[in-house]
Amino acid sequence: MNEQQQLNYHRIAEAIQYIHTHFREQPTLEELASKVHISPFHFQRLFHEWVGTTPKKFLQYISIEHAKKLLKAQQASLFETAFETGLSGTGRLHDLFVKIEGMSPAEYKNEGQNLLINYRFAESPFGKVLVASSPRGVCEMAFEEDETKARQNLQQKFPRASFQQQSDDFQQKALSIFEQDWQALPQIKLHLKGTAFQLKVWEALLKIPMGRLSTYGAVAREIGQAQASRAVGTAIGHNPVAFLIPCHRVIQATGHFGGYMWGETRKTAIIGWEMVRTNP
């Protein structure tokens, strides 16, 4: 990403944050453009380039009332698998192509000893992302602009592993998830370090359809532990694989989007990005 692209990305991020905090005021195109110090015409074009829709439509999709309607409409189980195909195949949800393989108790305990982990940095619609993989699948995917910090966080999770900055097929398949046409996606394998409870929660997240939202309580009920919504929230907060395991689709029961490990602005952007692709 060159200097101009970085500037444009931060302008759009700033606009998204403003929309998220001022949606009740229904800001106009002119107001949004003035916040990022460019003309309305330029802002409209730039926003559509980065987000895939107009500022007005994005504002509609991220409003609290829309979130509540989505929650109310989700009468079916999170494990419903009959998804509509939609236009251009974008309704074929990528979750169907993701398979989790948990680390064995011994692997979990030894903190990655004798494990070789490849990692690389790439650009996504939501900023720079680090993706790392073991010989059995993707073990980490995180949004982080600071590459040094991203490497340090990865090494802290696997303190006894060996690392090399190298691309591989697991990573390529994972990054293909950001493409708009998902009809030909291969199965993406994840090799995750987590407790049995965490893996159960993460598997449940994979079943939340794109363009739909759920709550912590609903996920708790789906895994058969209705009283464990707080523990579910903790497990979601430890999700090691951004976007592929869609923890961004879980919001508060009030309809507020709530926190996100990789930033509330990014969570808002992802939710809006998915909604405009499943509600043409």
Residues with catalytic function = 247
Alpha-carbon gap, residue 227 to 210, rounded angstroms: 26
Alpha-carbon gap, residue 5 to 14, rounded angstroms: 14
- E strands, 78-219, where? 98-102, 116-124, 127-134, 137-143, 162-165, 188-192, 214-215
Alpha-carbon gap, residue 267 to 270, rounded angstroms: 5
Alpha-carbon gap, residue 172 to 175, rounded angstroms: 5
Q: Is 52 left (phi over 0), alpha (psi -120 to 50) or beta?
A: left
The structure tokens listed for 39 are 């003309």
* N-to-C CA span, the chain: 29
Cβ distance 182 to 89 under 8 Å? Answer: yes
Q: Judging by DSSP bridges, how do beta strands 116-124 and 162-165 pair with one another?
A: parallel
Q: Judging by DSSP bridges, how do beta strands 214-215 and 116-124 pair with one another?
A: unpaired
DSSP letter, residue 107: H
Alpha-carbon gap, residue 129 to 125, rounded angstroms: 10
Neighbours of 230 (CB within 10 A): 11
